[in-house]
Amino acid sequence: MDTQRLILFVVFSFSLLMLWENWQKHDQPSATVSTTTQAATTGVAPVPTLDQQHAAPTPTAVAPGLVNGARAVVTTDVLRAEIDANGGDLRSLALTRYQDAVDKKKTLQLLEQMPGHEYVAQSGLIGAGLPTHKTLFQLTPGNYTLAPGQDKLQVPLSWTDPVTGVRVTKTYTFHRDSYVIDVGYQIANPGKLALPVYAYFQLLRDGKAPEGESHFIHTYTGPALYTEQSKFKKVDFKQIDKGEQNYPRYANDGWIGMVQHHFVSAWLPKNGPKREFYTKPAGDGLYSAGVIMPEGNVQPGASLRFSTPLYAGPQVQKTLTALAPGLDYVVDYGWLTPIAAPIFWTLQKIHQFVGNWGWSIVILTILIKLMFFPLSAKSYKSMAQMRGLAPRLQRLKEQYGDDRQKLHQAMMDLYKTEKINPLGGCLPVVVQIPVFIALYWTLLGSVEMRQAPFVLWIHDLSAPDPYYVLPIIMGITMLIQTRLNPTPPDPIQAKVMMIMPVAFSIFFFFFPAGLVLYWLVNNLISISQQWYITHRVEAAKTGHGKH
Could you tell me if 373 and 232 lie in one domain? no
Partner residues linked to 88 by β-bridges? none
| Residue 57 included in any domain | no
The whole-angstrom separation of Cα 391 and Cα 303 is 90
| C-beta separation of 272 from 262 below 8 A | no
| Residue 24 included in any domain | no
Pseudo-torsion of CA 394, 395, 399, 405, nearest 10°?
A: -50
Each residue's pLDDT tens digit, 265-314: 999 999 998 999 999 999 889 999 999 999 999 999 999 999 999 999 99
Each residue's pLDDT tens digit, 303-355: 999 999 999 999 999 999 999 999 999 998 878 888 998 999 999 999 999 99
Could you tell me if 464 and 487 lie in one domain? yes
Position 188 pLDDT exceeds 90: yes
Q: Where are the alpha helices (DSSP H) in 117-251?
A: 237-242
**What number of residues does the chain have?**
547
Quick one: residue 279, left, alpha or beta (phi over 0 = left, psi -120 to 50 = alpha)?
Answer: beta
Could you tell me if 311 and 355 lie in one domain? no
Model confidence at 379, in pLDDT bands (50, 70, 90)?
confident
The closest of 223, 157, 187 to 295, measured between CA atoms, is 187
Partner residues linked to 143 by β-bridges? 73
The CATH number of residue 126's host domain is 2.70.98.90
Of the given ranges (58-62, 125-129, 296-300, 530-534), which has the lowest mean pLDDT?
58-62
Could you tell me if 111 and 242 lie in one domain? yes
| C-beta separation of 490 from 438 below 8 A | no
Burial state string for 246-264 with b = 16 or more CB within 10 A and e = fewer than 16: ebeeebebbbbbbbbbbbb
| Residue 42 included in any domain | no
Could you tell me if 443 and 304 lie in one domain? no
Could you tell me if 346 and 240 lie in one domain? no
- Beta strands 117-126; 303-314: pairing state: unpaired
The whole-angstrom separation of Cα 189 and Cα 300 is 6
Each residue's pLDDT tens digit, 418-441: 666 666 556 566 777 788 788 888
| Residue 9 included in any domain | yes
Number of domains present in the structure of the chain: 2
Q: Which residues constitute the domain of residue 298?
A: 31-35+64-208+219-332
Could you tell me if 324 and 379 lie in one domain? no
Q: At what angle do helices 426-445 and 373-400 cross, to 10 degrees?
A: 130
Per-residue model confidence (pLDDT) at position 50? 31
Model confidence at 498, in pLDDT bands (50, 70, 90)?
confident
Could you tell me if 352 and 325 lie in one domain? no
Phi and psi for 255 in degrees, rounded to 5? -140, 165
Position 493 pLDDT exceeds 80: no
